[in-house]
Structure 1
Amino acid sequence: MANNNEAGRQRSFLLVLSFVHLSKCGPPEVKSIIVKTLVRVLDLNFLLWSKNKDSWVDTASTTMASDNKKKPSLKEDLTCSICYELFTDPVMLACMHHFCRACISTYWRGLRGFVSCPQCRREFPTRQLQTNFLVSGMVEKVRASSGDGYQKNLQNQLKDSLESHQAKREEYLNMIRQDKEKVDTIKRVGTELQVRVQGEFQALRDLLQQEEVEVLEEMRREQEELLEEAERRLEQLRAAVHEAEESVRVLQQAADAMETSVLLELPEVNFRPSLQVEKEAEFDVNAFAGRYSGPLQYITWRRMFRLLKPAPASLTFDPETAHPSLCLSRDKTSVVECQEMLPYKRNPKRFTQCVNVLAAQCFLSGRHYWEVGVGGKTKWDLGVALEAVDRQARAKLSPENGYWTLRLRDGGRYSAGTQPWTPLRVDTPPRSIGVFLDCEQRMVSFYNAESMRLIYTFPHGPRGRVYPFFSTCVSEHGQKPQPIKVLHFPQDPL
C-alpha cells in the first residue's frame, strides 16, 4: 500500500509539473483543457483520500516510524526510468511521463509505426516529444547540488554548524555542572548552617536553663534562710511567752496568798525577762519578693550577657593611629572631626592622608562582634583593616589593599568596598552598624544593629592580624561634624 502511494505521489508530482509547463507554453484552448483536467485530478485525489484516509494515516504513521528509509528524495523523482540517472535534456510524452531525450530516442530506434511509453506502455502514432523546461531547471539545480564543490561547501557549513552546536552543548553542560555544584554547595552549606543554628540556640537554651536553675536555687536558699530566721524568732517568742506566763503564775499565787494571810516577804520574782526579743524582725519579706518580682528577664539577660559567644567587644579608639584632624573623647569611645588640625607625633601607625582611625584592640583568631553608632551621619566607612596597611598613602578601601569595609555616601548610597564598588540596597538607614569577624572562616559581615538584618558579607575575609577600622569622612562645607561611637554593653552580672 505504501509503495503504491509513493508511486502515485511521484506520478502526481510529474503530472502537475507537466500541466504547469503546458499551461505556460500552450495555446489558450490547451490551457482550458489543462485547468479542467487538474480540477478533475484534484477532485479524484480528494475522493480517494476521503475513502481511504484512515488507512493512509495508518500507513503514513507506519512509514514515518520505519527509519524513513522508503521516503523518496527529489533526486529519485527526477531520475530517468531508462538510464536510472538524472534527466539529461528531459522531455515529456503525451502520457506525461518524462525521460532523457537521448534515452527515449534510443529506446524507439528501429521501431516503425506506433511507439509506446516504456513506463505505462501507452502507444502513440507519432514520436512527439515536449521539452519540459521546469523539470530541466530542477534537474540542473539537483545536479549542481550534487557536485563536489557544492558538497564540499555544504560539508564545511555542516562542520562549522556542528562545531558551533557542539561548543554550545559543551557550554551548556559546563553550566549544568556548575549549577549542580552550586546546588550541592547550597545543600552542604544549608546543612552546616542548620547544625550551627541549632547548636547556637541549644547553647542559649542551656544558658537560660542554667540561669533558671541558679535563680531558683538562689531563691530557695534565701527562702530557707528567711524561714530559719523566722523559726528562730518564733522559738524565742514562745520561750519569752512561757517565761512571762511563769512569772504571771507566781505573781498570781502571791496575790492570792495576800488575800488570806499576811506575807512577811515577797517571793523572788524577776520582773525583767531574761530573754531579749527584738520588736522588729530582721528579715524583710517585701525585699525578698521584690527581688524576684522585678524585671526578671532583663536581670537574666544581664547575667547571660557575659556568657554570649561572641559577646559584643568593648572597643576603644587608638589615638596613635588617628588622623590629626580627628578628636577623641576622654574614654576613647567617640571620634569626630576637629575644627583645626591637632599637633601630633609622627609615627608609622598614624593615618596622615585620610581621616581614619583604628581600634586599640586587634584580632587574630576566633569570632568577634562589635557595634558602631553612626547616628544621622551622611557619610562614613567602617570595617576591618590589616595591620600591615600603608597608613601614609591614600588608597582605595578594598580587599586588594587590605580593607574590608562598608561605606555610606550622600546619606543613602550604601556600597561594599569591593573593586569596583558593589551597590547595596538598604531600605531603612541604620543608626548603628554591627560588624562580625570570623577569623577561622575568613568572613566579614555587616548588620543593621537595630534589626540585625544582614547588609553585606565578604566571603573571603582577611588572613592575619586585623584591627577594627573607622573613617568619619570629611564633612561637607557648612555641615556640622557628627561623631562615630563604639558602643559598649554590660559585661558583668548585676
Structure 2
Amino acid sequence: MSAASCLLTEDQFLCSICLDVFTDPVSTPCGHNFCKTCITENWNINVLCQCPNCKKLFYTKPELQVNTFISEMAAQFRQSAQQKASSSNSEQQAAKPGEVPCDVCTGTKLKALKSCLVCLGSYCETHLKPHLTMAGLKRHQLIDPVENLEGRMCTKHDKLLELFCKTDQMCVCMLCSVSDHKTHDVVPLKEEYEGKKAELGKTEAETQQMIQKRRLKIEEIKRSVELSKEDADREIAGGVQVFSALKESVERSQAELIDTIIEKQRETEKQAEGFIKELEQEISELKKRSSEVEQLSRSEDHLHLLQSLPSLNAAPPTKDWTEVSVHPPSYEGTVRRAVNQLEETLSEQMKKLLEAELKRVQQYAVDVTLDPDTANPWLILSDDGKQVKHADVKKNLPDNPERFDYCAIVLAKQSFSSGRFYYEVQVKGKTKWTLGVARESINRKGNITVTPQDGYWTICLRNESRYFAFDDPPVCLCLKSRPEKVGVFVDYEEGLVSFHDVDAAARIYSFTGCCFTKKVYPYFSPGLNDGGKNSAPLIISLVTCQSH
C-alpha cells in the first residue's frame, strides 16, 4: 500500500471542494471523489445535484457510499502529509502580531504566503500548494497576503471589486458597472492602479526631494550653529583679552597710585625723623649744660663759684624752631591723574574694538545701485546708479506707485528680507543728507514722516553741523568728527540698523529692537540743492576694509 501511494500525486488525495485531504471519501456516479460531508452539503444547498468537477447533472440524488480504498489511501497520505507538514512547520514561522495567518491551519497558525481573491482565503506554504498544482485552482488570482478579504467583495452584488469608477472615485464590481455606474467613467482596477502607482511614484520622488532639501537645511542650520559657536568663541576670547588688558591696566594704575602715596608719606616721615634727631641732639647738649650749671649753683664756696664761672662752657648753638613744622603731603589730583591715564587706556581699547567692529560688518558688503523708478523727479541719478543729487529743474517722469512724488528720496534696486548687509556712502562736501533703510510698504506720496513707526530707520545732517537720528523722539548726535563716509549695517534677524563713521572707525548711532517682517531697501536723500551749497552728490562707494 505504501509503495502504491508513492505513485499517486498529491492532487489525487485532495477534495476539490474543501481543498484538504479526503475525509470519508465518496465517489459520484461520474467517477469523481469528494469528502462525504462536502458533497452532501453542496447538494443540499443547490436545487440540482451537479458534480462540482465535470458539472454532470443528476436528476435524482445518488446514494453515496464511502470508498474504502480511497479512504485508506487518504488516511495514509494524511499521516504522511502531517509528518511532512510537521517537519515543514518547524521550518516555517508562526504568524506574528500584525502578520496575516493561514486560514486553514489548525492549532498554531502559520504565516500566510498568499491570499486568493477567488477563495477569499489566505494560505501558508503547505496549504498554498493546491493553488500552485491543481488545474482548476491555478486560474485563481493570488496576491500578497492581506486581511479582511471580504472587503474586496462588492457588498451589494457579492462580486469581486475589479473595476474603478473615476466619476465617483470608488472600486466597483462588474454588475455595478452596468447598473449604478452605467454612465460613469469605469476602467479596470489594474489600469487605475497603474496610474495611481505612477502618481505615487511621482509623489514619493517629490517627498524624497523634500526630505533631501530638509536634510540639507538641517546641515545648513548645523553649520550655521557651528559658525555661530566659532564667532561666539572668538568674541569671548577677544572680550577676555580686552578685559584682561583693562584689568591689568587698572591694577597697574592702582599699584602706581598706592606707590606714589606711600612714597610721599615715606618722604614726610624721613623729614620728620631728621627734625626729631636734630632736636634730640640739641636737647642732649642743653641737658649737659644744665647739669653743669645746676652743680655749680649748689656750691657755697663764694670764691670757687666766682672763679669757676668764667670756665663754664658756653651755651651750645641752637636752632630757632619757631617756624619749623612737618606738613602732610598733598594728594590733590593724584587719583584724578591715575583715572585720566586709565581713561586714555580705555579709549585706546575702545578705538581698537570699534575698528574691529567696522571690519567685521564690512564683511557683509553688498553691491547697491539706485532705482530710477523710485527717484523723485527733482533728483539726478548717474548712469551707473551710484550717485544722486538734487537738481534745479524738475524732470517729467511718470508718477508710478513706486516713485516719491514730493520728497527728494530714492531707494536702491536691491531689497533684503533676511541675513545681514552693509554699504557705504560718501557724504563729503554736503550740508544736508539722510541715509538708512526703509520698509517696502512705506508711503511714497506727499509729505513723509521718517520714523521707525512709519517704516524708516535713518540718520541725517542738517545745517552743515547738526546730526540727528530720526528715532521716536529724534536724537541729537554729538560727533567728535564730521563724517565724510558713512557705513550702514543691517542685521535683519537681530533687528539692528547701525551707522558708522568709516574714516574714524566710530559708531554714529544704532537702532535696536527693529521689527522687520518684509523687504527693506537702502534709502538715500541728498537734500535740496540749496542754491549750490549742497550740490555735492551722495556717492555709493566701493567697500574696502579700513586699516587704522
User: What TM-score does the superposition give when structure 1 sets the normalisation length?
Assistant: 0.41
TM-score of the pair, normalised by structure 2 = 0.38
Higher relative contact order (CA 8 A, sep 6+): 1
